[in-house]
Amino acid sequence: MPKVAIYPGSFDPVTNGHLDIIERGLKLFDRIIVAILTNPGKKFLFTLEERIEMLEASMKKFSNVEIDTFDGLTVDYAAQRNAQGILRGLRALSDFEYEFQMALMNRRLNREVQTVFLMTGLRWIYTSSSIIKEAAQFGGTIKGMVPPVVEKRIKEKFGGQS
């Protein structure tokens, strides 16, 4: 039976840190499903369709990665997709506290799905979608922090800046 993991997130937008976690996660799992949580109550820079397009363009080199969307509980979605794991990246202590709480709740809800934490590569420890959007909004360069297709789309959103 292939080992499958869900890598959930908003991916607004996908960063090189996300891609690093996916690439390293594929050393542990046979297949990863990048699962974009749909949350109509949250304000995103990019539409769901735009996020899917950017993920698809950024992950062409991975043949064993699928992109999907879901709503509801991640652990329920993982069970629906016959995934054994939920893949999460950790950057800092603040990430750990939140992710640890989520992992414990998910384990309580379904003991068959394990959460696997990967430490973010040192290159990406300070990188987050929020910080990247903020830097780009005020004209900061984001080159090398996001895939080229994402850099282009962010520049378009902020009127050619960044």
Q: Which of 24, 31, 81, 91 is catalytic?
A: 91
Query: What's the pLDDT at 44?
Result: 93
CATH assignment at residue 17: 3.40.50.620
Helix H segments across 65-147?
74-80, 93-109, 129-137
pLDDT at 151: 95
Average pLDDT per consecutive 10 residues, the chain (162 residues; last block may be shorter): 96 96 97 93 91 96 96 95 96 84 95 95 86 92 94 88 50
Would residue 43 show up in a list of annotated catalytic residues for this protein? no
pLDDT the model gives residue 160: 65
d(CA 155, CA 113): 39
Residue-range definition of the domain harbouring residue 56: 4-126
Is residue 91 part of the annotated active site? The answer reads yes
Among candidate residues 10, 58, 128, 129, the one labeled active-site is 129
Is position 24 annotated as part of the catalytic site?
Answer: no
Number of domains in the chain: 1
Q: What whole-number distance in Å separates Cα of residue 102 and Cα of residue 115?
A: 9
Q: Which of 80, 81, 36 is nearest to 54 (CA)?
A: 36
